[in-house]
Structure 1
Amino acid sequence: DELVELRAGLEDAVGGRGRSFLVVGEAGIGKTRLVEELAREAAERGHLVLWGRCWEGEGAPPYWPWIQVIRAYLRIAHSEGLPRVAGGAGAPYLAQLVPELGGAQSPGPSVPPQSEHARFYLFDAVATFLQSRPDHTPLVLIFDDLQWADTPSLLLLQFLVHELRDTAILVVATYREMEARQNPHVADILGALARDGRHLPLRGFGEEEVALFIEGKTGRSASAALVRAVHRETEGNPLFVDEIVHLLVAEGALERWDATVPWSLPVPQGVREAIRRRLAPLPAPCRDALTLASVVGREFGLGALQAACGLGADALLEVLRPALGREVLVRDPRTAGRYRFAHALIRETIYEELGAAERARLHGRIGEVLEALHQMDPTPQLATLAHHFLEAVPAGAAEKAIAYSTRAARYAEASLAYEDAAVLFERALEVLAEAHPADARERCELLLARGGAQWKAGDGPGAREAFRQAADIARRIGDAPLLARSALGFAGEGSRLLWVRSGVVDQPRIELLEEALDGLGDRDPGLRARLLARLAINLYWAPEPERVLALSEEAVTLARQLGDPRDLAAVLRARWIALWRPEAAEERLAIADEIVRLGEQTADRELALLGRRFRIVGFLEHGDVVAADREIEAWAQIAGELRQPRYLTDLAMWRATRAIMDGRFAEGEQHARRALELGEREPEVEPAMRHAVQMSVLQFHRGQLEHAV
């Protein structure tokens, strides 16, 4: 059965062959109970078991299940000596995510705070941290209710699953298929995770299991007729069976049930109706407190609920005592003063009973309570505050909804949760459109912010549309700097593309950049330099080579006058692209040298690698293979420290090129294959096309012309 499969996966992990499982099934089918049994067995064997529970609905901080995992790891490992974040470039990002890790990190290679590869560094740091256990104890990671996980958390899980080979790590995650399907992006990632691991769909109890469950719950055997009736009505759903047995016992029906009259079984219409009947006998103050708790979420702290109910700690515990007695609520064993609904469906059932107006009013009350509780440092609670005030908009909370969703979006972006940021900026825009439709400037700023987050999340079409709308507003209100920022975003600034697509002349980009330049004039030299550089790049394939040179030269001149090394490096890149022609090889090599110096001056290794990329090209153009080999080895050292797949792909490609040039064809083929494998993690580098070109050159030099094309 499923537990047997999970046990076999645990044995593989103990043997250094990491495994992953996705346990899927409807609500109440027993997913959590199954993995709890596995967790209990693993813990009894001395393995380290860490849980990450996803927060139902919105309001959780970015990477919330991972924050729980890492914090639990720190609590357990504290007495044994903390693992170190082994020299990774992601150490600062990881410490930002979990500040308690600040003292556990090793110094890493310097990368800029807004590196386009920042999220890879974070993911790599998490994987390295979890693999660096000092005692090499097997690790079991359990993620519950992935249907509610934020996209960045799922992407991090996907990254870790790719890294499981040769590790003593078992990953088990649960999710409800129906809810997961409602979010296509979540469904896609879960589908990829299922392909990378083992998919375990759960079925309900059979009649024999129902009989055993009733006996275990009541201490007495049930008749075959009663077992058949319960199984028929519940379809074996364990939670539903549990609720029916609760009702049978509470209503005294177990003793008087007549097997010859099957319709006398008091079966509710579905598990939610069963839960309602279970809650009905609770005193009114207890039900009121549970209603407020359901607005907070599946888990809640007594402090927030006290303030919301207006009760002292002792009084609140007395009010909640009947719910604890009926196992509607359970204490959180990990944290004092925290409680959770015994099952997510209990919380959902209570919450769904609220009317729209009451729901908005209570969210507003909870938002106010949390705002007061965390007024000294609201940062960790920004997503939660945004969620409650967004839900409270019908009750008059529009101003706070806009403010907190914008702050939460900026925090999410700084935490590398770009998808979360884009969604929060969109929510702020929706509220702004209803509450302040005339505030064009604020709308423009929010569109620019959303476009930037979408570029980083890889949503190019969405980003372009956001920047196009921002440009329309900036044009309408006559704000030249806003129009310039819109044009830069629309034309690809903030995306991961080094260049424009081969042969592409994107006329809408060019026209918007030209309009922005005309409108800006000489008012903002830094902004003007960036516009000139971006226009030069976008005009590269246009039949205006002299104009491209002039634009890039003006951009460099302005940047040198301003003296900002990062702005200068950006426009020098545009100048290098503008000079991509044989007669300009010397000047391009000089630009490459300057970019390397700027990278070293600012301790920005990624910028230094860009300069070294240009150097390798320049030295090979000049036929100076000794200098090219020296640069490739320098590249290898930095790329090995940063561990970024794109840089390692390029390294394998450079080594394949040099081996083919020297006639070491077998070695060249090996490096080319390595570049193709690494490039699968970075599709933007077009690994298949690169591999095909290198193999054609290799076959040509081997004299196998029939295979060269």
Structure 2
Amino acid sequence: RIGVRTGVNTGEVIAGDPAQGQAFATGDAVVVAQRLEANAGAGEILVGDSTFRLVRDAVSAEAVEPLVLKGKSAPVAAWRLLDVQPGVAGVMRRMDSPFVGRSPELARLGVELGRAKAERTCRVVTILGEPGVGKSRLAAELVASLGEEALVLEGRCLPYGSGITYWPLVEMVRGLDVAAALAGEPDGETVHGRILEAIGRAESRSRSDELYWAIRRLLEALARERPIVLVLDDIQWADRTFLDLVEYLSGWSRDAAVLVCCLARTEFAELRPAWPMLRLEPLSPDDSARLLENLAGPLQPAATRELGRATGGNPLFLEEMLRMLVEDGMLVERNGRLQPLTDVDLKRVPETVQAVLAARLDRLDAEELAVLQRAAVIGQVFWWGAVVDLSPATSMPEVARHLQALVRKGLIRPDERTFVGEDGFRFGHILSRDAAYDSTPKRLRAELHERFADWGEARVGDTVEFDEIIGHHLEQAHLNRAELAPSRPSGSALAARAAGRLARAGRRALTRGDASAATDLLRRAAALAPSAALLFDLAEAYGRLGSIVEAEERYGAALEAAVTAGDWRSEICARVELEVIALFRGEGGVDQLATAVQGALPAFEEAGDDRTVARLLTALADAYWWRCQIVPMQETLERALHHARRAADERLEADTAVRLAYGAVVGPLPVAEGRRLVAGAAAQAGEDTSAKGTLLLMAALLAALEGEVDEARDLSERGTEILDSLGRRIVLAAMSTWTSAVDLLAGDIDGAELQLRAALQQLIQFGQRANVASVAAQLAETLIAAGRNDEAASFITVSEGAATPDDLHAQIAWRVARAKVLADDDAREGERIAREAVELARKTDSPLFAAESLEALSIVLAAAGSRAEASSAAGQALSLFEAKGHLVAAARIRTIRAEARTASTQG
């Protein structure tokens, strides 16, 4: 007898094309298999760890000592195969609980839709389960049960990552007359324009929050006549921006019955654990048997049991197995039912889904498989013309016939979505596409990805959304080639093409305020072809996400790249941005930032780079803001506004105008003039609803300072509603110092405390250190007004700890609050701290900060018995409040002084 030694290992290999007589395979998986064979005894079979993990439930095996194999840096785990159990799945699927049927789940969806209709709200349900468990089928059953009762919109997230941010929206609105739906709606034209931006039919100008608002308004308009059921398939592929959109719709939709059904794989639960989940478990044996009867008619009990066991209760796997049996001739269609022609033999049927799909591919003829592989490279949805273009010239005439054959075999199906007039198809499910893609050699994958990118470029040119798709294919072409030949010269050119597409898409995302998508796209672009400019944009995207550490790292990399390349412009900008980040991290200073900006400005002014000049001036204005030097801040912003207009940068111009209005609130400009300035800025805000909301909050505080409490609360509510509708929660949290001040001036201490506590929690969560300091100090003042000094003291400590040395407002605010708390218990210490606040306020040109410091000083002096000094401080505070036009505070000081004079006379 011949003593056979066998080694088995699993993994990707570099293989020749058998059709061309290249019957070879190489790679790490092959090398390990050869080493296992060499270490096996006569008659033994050793399997690698990756193989054992795939077959562990179908074999008896014992672990051997980890093997030290030539060419491997670490010992390799191996298993000695003892026995194989025929017909047992290699990996048994988990059955956490029996699945009785889908009636309860369908009823749950009906209840959710009923609640949406009764409450006129948006309800979100995530149908969660493993691939093939029946998520799409459940959604289809819901849709079928509704008939004309609801408007059904469907969209699918592509498996390319976060690049195709709003692709589901493109599919949802296809076939809708959006303009007609919005006719007569308030802001209908604005909504329509932003929808066109989101789907790539207009230049991106709007931020993500503005696009969210427009999408919500469109759905609300569509839902006026009947409820909407929105089915979002493969939501696990969606990027964070699109997931945030779903949350926004759930939280902010008004007077619209909308049910959002998100279909996701099980791992999605880890991404958004708070979303309402409807988990689909595998079918029980009884339910599997009923499904088999529906699909194939009565089968022999043994075949039914074996099919149920082999598929583990997964409906899709059951369907795929049946299709394979039909292709094998074991089942035939008679009178609309599948009937067994012979005994069903499952020994030849693979034991896992991947094996099922791979076996189906193996049964295709070579030309059909080649067509399917080319389709798989394109994606789950693909186009006839693209497959033809990717095929060899001799095979092009036969592509149509092979596509129709693949439709008949159930691997693909026609798809209504077209691509510039092309007939579309889609794989029956993503697993079929993945199996076909995985069966494609990497060398061919690389070639096909590049060729499809060429095909797409020839047809869509610079179309916005397709930048991301074409960039993905060029990226995959490069990555596949790099794995096969890392030093190939053409790789750098391909990487540059991919990076160009991805970078352009990323910059567009950054322009519209979609920092999440921008970060993903720019990160991938920078990995392919890093440059100072690209790294700078990536850093900016991270900064907008609030990822300060990542932003600092990328600015550092941009600085290094700029120095190496001799790119002085990028070098200067990177140094300035690093100073800004250092300031926010509490590691830098205003002087360093101002010096960096002032040193950089002349070069860019001389070069005529108005956009960069405007940005640098805005950074310089931030330095003045931290020091509460409002007049030079506004002068600097006026210069920035001039350059932003010359650069025709509308967004930068709008942002600068809003910053100018900030100065009207705390600066020396009288309240009456400030209200006119804010009103003028609001009139010029155009369609920028976020700016309008922010300006309304400024107007509210100014009105409250003049004692116009009802008007102030109305303005505050309107501004808050606008920012709420846009999902600008962090902006509202940061501005809670102003909105709560309106409540305090209106006498609503409880309302002020409630919103400040919520804001502080949010700001701490998002690491907003500077705003934490200001809000904590304001919360302390609110608690002092409520007579709860002990509670106030703890928040004063929070403010003191968060305030950076250069943040003069926070440094003044916590001292003012602490002085008031100490007035009754330690007036002398309170006086010392109050005088520190007064001295700090003198470094600013804010009459409000100076007056508040002097008012605190007057309180502690009065408590210490220094009535003359207290009266003098109060008088100075009164003059400042009157000059600013803070009529409420001025009246308060007059009352306090009058009471003090009365007490002195009586004494």
Q: Distance in 1 between matches of 2:423 and 2:527?
A: 36
Structure 2 unmatched ranges of 5 or more = 1-103, 332-339, 482-489, 794-907
Give the secondary-structure state (helix, strand or coil) at the position aligned to 1:130: helix
Which residue matches 2:140?
A: 36
Amino acid across the alignment from 1:384: I
- Cα distance change on mapping 1:14 and 1:507 into 2, 3 Å: closer
Residues 24 and 174 of structure 1 are in contact (CA less than 8 Å); yes or no, is this contact kept in structure 2? Answer: yes
Shift of 1:449: 1.4
Taking a change above 3 Å as real, the CA distance of residues 599 and 177 of structure 1, as seen in their structure-2 partners, is same
For 1:657, the equivalent position in structure 2 comes to 741
Query: Do the aligned partners of residues 127 and 536 (structure 1) sit closer, same or farther apart at CA in structure 2, a change above 3 Å counting?
Result: closer
Are residue 429 (structure 1) and residue 526 (structure 2) matched? Answer: yes
Q: How many residue pairs are counted as aligned between the two chains? A: 649
Secondary structure of the residue that 2:125 maps to in structure 1? strand
Greater CA deviation, 683-692 or 338-347?
A: 683-692
Q: Identify which of 217, 226, 235 aligns with 2:312.
A: 235
How has the CA–CA distance of structure 1 residues 253 and 462 changed in structure 2, closer, same or farther, with 3 Å as cutoff? same
Alpha-carbon distance in 2 for matches of 1:537, 1:632: 29
2:297 aligned with 1:213: no
- Kindly report which structure 2 residues correspond to 1:305-704, keeping only aligned pairs within 5 A, or say none: 305-309=387-391, 310=393, 315-333=398-416, 337-375=423-461, 377-393=462-478, 394=481, 396=491, 397-433=494-530, 443-492=531-580, 505-507=586-588, 511=592, 514-515=595-596, 517-518=598-599, 521=602, 524=605, 531=616, 534-535=619-620, 537-538=622-623, 552=633, 555=636, 564=645, 585-586=668-669, 597=680, 600=683, 603=686, 624-626=706-708, 643-644=725-726, 645=728, 657-662=741-746, 664-665=747-748, 668-670=749-751, 673=754, 697=781, 700-701=784-785
After TM superposition, the structure 1 = structure 2 runs for residues 285-304 of structure 1, keeping only pairs within 5 Å, are 285-304=367-386
- Indicate how the Cα distance of structure 1 residues 28 and 84 shifts in structure 2: closer, same or farther if over 3 A, else same: farther
CA distance in 1 between partners of 2:542 and 2:660 (Å): 27
Return the alpha-carbon distance in structure 2 between the equivalents of residues 159 and 661 of structure 1.
32
* Mapped partners of 1:317, 1:586: distance in 2: 74
Counterpart of 1:94 (choices 188, 192, 195) is 195
**2:113 is equivalent to residue 10 of structure 1:** yes
CA deviation vs aligned residue, 1:422-446 (integer Å, no higher than 9, x gap):
222222222225xxxxxxxxx0010
Deviation at 1:586, TM superposition (A): 4.5
Q: After the TM superposition, which residues 45-124 of structure 1 pair with which residues of structure 2 at under 5 Å, given as runs?
A: 45-58=148-161, 61-72=164-175, 74=176, 82=182, 86-87=186-187, 92-98=193-199, 118-124=207-213
Matched, 1:251 2:328: yes
- Report the equivalent of 1:436: none
Matched AA of 2:383: G
2:216–2:253 CA contact under 8 A, matched in 1: no
Q: Over aligned residues, Cα RMSD in angstroms?
A: 4.4
Equivalent pair of 1:532/1:554 in contact (CA under 8 Å): no
Closer, same or farther in 2 for the Cα pair 1:509/1:691, shift >3 Å? closer
Q: 1:487 to 1:227 in 2, by over 3 A?
A: same
Letter in 1 for 2:529: L
In structure 2, relative to structure 1, the CA distance for the partners of 1:607 and 1:326 (3 Å cut) is closer
Change (3 A) 1:205 1:412: same
CA deviation string 1:203-240 (max 9, x = no partner)? 112111222222222222331x3322222222111122
In structure 2, relative to structure 1, the CA distance for the partners of 1:9 and 1:506 (3 Å cut) is same
Is the alpha carbon distance of 1:487 and 1:85 closer, same or farther for their aligned partners in structure 2, counting shifts above 3 Å? farther
**Unaligned ranges ≥5, structure 1:** 103-112, 182-186, 434-442, 494-498
C-alpha distance in 1, partners of 2:587/2:658?
19
Measured after TM superposition, the shift of residue 467 of structure 1 is 1.6
Superposed CA deviations along residues 450-478 of structure 1, whole A, max 9, x for unmatched, are: 12222333333222222222223334455
Alignment CA distance shift 1:608-1:369 (3 Å):
closer
Q: Does the 8 Å contact 2:165/2:241 carry over to 1?
A: yes
1:538/1:341 Cα in 2 relative to 1: closer, same or farther (>3 Å)?
same
Alpha-carbon contact 2:407-2:413 (below 8 Å) kept: yes
Distance 1:576 1:218 in 2: 72
- Give me the identity figure in percent: 23
Native 8 Å contact 1:389 1:398 kept in 2 = yes
Q: Deviations over 1:112-158 (max 9, x none)?
A: x867xx32221121112101127520110000111111222111111
Bigger RCO of structures 1 and 2 (CA < 8 A, at least 6 apart): 1
Contact between 1:58 and 1:387, CA under 8 Å: does it hold in 2?
A: no
Query: Offset of 1:326 from its aligned partner?
Result: 0.8
Distance of aligned partners of 1:208 and 1:671 in 2 relative to their CA distance in 1, 3 Å threshold:
same
For 1:132, what is the secondary structure of its paired residue?
Answer: helix
Q: Could you state the TM-score of these two structures normalised by the residue count of structure 1?
A: 0.78
Distance 1:18 1:54, change over 3 A: same
Q: Is the 8 A contact 1:25 1:175 kept in 2?
A: yes
Which residue of structure 2 aligns with residue 108 of structure 1? none
Alignment partners' CA distance in 1, 2:776 and 2:321: 63
* 2:529 match: secondary structure: helix
Aligned partner of 2:569: which letter? P
* Residues 94 and 555 (structure 1), Cα distance of their counterparts in 2 relative to 1, 3 Å cut: same
d(CA) in 2 for partners of 1:9 and 1:586?
A: 54
Residue 382 of structure 1 contacts residue 408 of structure 1 at CA under 8 Å; is this kept in 2?
A: yes
- Distance in 1 between the 2:157 and 2:238 partners? 5
Secondary structure of the equivalent of 2:527? Answer: helix
Q: Distance in 2 between matches of 1:491 and 1:695?
A: 30
Which position in structure 2 is the counterpart of 1:110?
Answer: none
Q: Which residue of 2 is the match for residue 168 of structure 1?
A: 257
Asked if the contact 1:528/1:555 (under 8 Å) is kept, the reply is no
1:279 aligns with 2:381: no
Deviations 1:356-381 (A, max 9, x none): 22211111111111111223x53331
Matches of 1:7 and 1:562 in 2, distance apart? 56
Which string of whole-angstrom CA distances, capped at 9 and with x for unpartnered residues, describes residues 77-97 of structure 1? 78x755566327665432312
User: Quick one: structure 1 residues 123 and 500, their matched pair in 2 at CA, closer, same or farther if it must change by over 3 Å?
Assistant: farther
- Tell me, in whole angstroms, the C-alpha distance in 1 between the residues paired with 2:638 and 2:506: 36
Residue 828 (structure 2) aligns with = none
Distance 1:576 1:325, change over 3 A: closer
Q: Which amino acid aligns with 1:338?
A: G
CA contact (8 A) 1:20 1:171 kept: yes
